[in-house]
Each structure stands twice: as structure tokens, then as C-alpha cells.
């Protein structure tokens, strides 16, 4: 009698677990991999055991930071990355300074940390470290309401740049650093 096979894998938020004959586990795993092929790519770090395979994937900010033509040197010139978050080295000028800074910080979280959805509390903290005092990030960002998406409620609200927002923030960053 064949020994049952067991596989457990976690990739980001996706989890796969199967137990049974080698053929059934393999076919289920192939279907799982096919479903994940449509998800963003990340570099896996795997540990193995004879009967159990567990894979943990950590996001690769360089891989998820695609989409745009910003040079990494330009990003590193504009932002400071600390263990808790990021901050701007240079602040935008003008009437929309706070809104522009918040948009640039969203870009920084996306490019440096691979985080597209950022909690409002993290944005406020990053703004304060950058030198901008905000009570509420939603009020500052309303000037650019067509450039981002929100989800969640109260302290759990997350902000994400849409495609137009990513392009606009990249243009703003280039203009800020080229002057």
C-alpha cells in the first residue's frame, strides 16, 4: 500500500493543503499553481520535510514595483526608508503641498516596500516624519480623489494609487527632483 502524501504551502495570502495519493495531490497542486499564475510574482523561500512541504513567500519589492519608468536611483534620492516606514527627503511646494506629499508617500510605499495598499495611520506617520503635520490623511488626499482608491473603515482605511495616480505621482516626483 502506498504511503499517503501530504503537502502544505502558503504563498502570501494563498494557502494550499492536500493529502492523499501522489497522483491526486499532484493534480490538485498543479491546479493551485495554475490559479496562482495569474497572481503577482514573488520570490519563494522554501523549507522541506520528507512528507510535508511548506513554502513561505516573502514579497520582493523590486518585482512588485514594476509599472513605470522611474529609475531606482531617483527613488532612493527622493525617499528615506526606515524600519517602520518611509519619508520624503524633499517636500513639494505650492497650494497642494500636503496632498502632493501624501500622493508621493503612496508612491514611495509602492516602489520601496512593495505595498500598494497603505494604512492611513502609516501615511500620517510618514507625513509627520517627512515634516508635514496632518490630523487626517483623508482630508489632505481629497484634492487628488481621482488618483487613488480607498477601502476599509476608521483606522483600518487603506489607500491605493490607481493607474492614473501612479503616473501622476511619478511625474510629480520627477518634477520635484529635477528642479
**What is the value of pTM for the model shown?**
0.61
Per-residue model confidence as pLDDT tens digits over 72-95: 888 999 999 988 789 999 999 999
Strand blocks (E) in the chain: 5-11, 14-20, 43-48, 53-58, 79-81, 86-88, 117-119, 148-151, 158-161
Per-residue model confidence as pLDDT tens digits over 144-156: 999 999 999 988 9
Q: How confident is the model at residue 2 (pLDDT cuts 50, 70, 90)?
A: low
- Alpha carbons 10 and 8: distance in angstroms, whole number: 7
Contact 18, 28 (CB under 8 A): yes
The CATH architecture annotation of domain 62-178 reads: Orthogonal Bundle (1.10)
Q: Tell me, what's the pLDDT at 122?
A: 94
Per-residue model confidence as pLDDT tens digits over 34-55: 777 765 555 444 444 445 444 4
**Boundaries of every domain in the chain:** 5-58, 62-178
At residue 135, does pLDDT exceed 70?
yes
Q: Tell me, what's the pLDDT at 49?
A: 47
Comparing 2-6, 34-38, 157-161, which segment has the lowest mean pLDDT? Answer: 34-38
Amino acid at each position: 500500500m502506498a504511503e499517503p502524501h501530504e503537502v502544505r504551502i502558503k504563498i502570501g495570502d494563498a494557502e494550499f493543503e492536500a493529502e492523499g495519493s501522489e497522483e491526486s495531490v499532484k493534480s490538485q497542486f498543479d491546479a493551485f499553481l495554475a490559479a496562482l499564475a495569474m497572481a503577482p510574482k514573488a520570490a519563494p523561500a522554501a523549507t522541506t520535510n520528507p512528507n510535508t512541504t511548506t513554502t513561505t513567500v516573502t514579497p520582493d519589492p523590486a518585482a512588485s514595483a514594476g509599472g513605470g519608468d522611474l529609475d531606482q536611483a531617483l527613488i532612493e534620492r527622493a525617499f528615506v526608508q526606515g524600519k517602520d516606514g518611509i519619508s520624503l527627503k524633499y517636500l513639494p511646494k505650492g497650494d497642494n503641498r500636503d496632498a502632493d506629499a501624501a500622493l508621493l508617500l503612496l508612491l514611495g510605499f509602492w516602489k520601496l516596500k512593495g505595498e500598494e495598499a497603505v494604512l492611513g495611520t502609516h501615511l500620517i506617520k510618514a507625513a509627520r516624519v517627512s515634516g508635514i503635520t496632518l490630523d487626517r490623511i483623508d482630508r489632505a488626499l481629497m484634492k487628488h480623489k481621482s488618483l487613488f482608491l480607498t477601502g476599509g473603515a476608521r483606522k483600518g482605511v487603506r489607500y491605493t494609487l490607481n493607474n492614473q495616480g501612479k503616473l501622476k505621482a511619478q511625474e510629480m516626483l520627477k518634477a520635484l527632483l529635477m528642479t
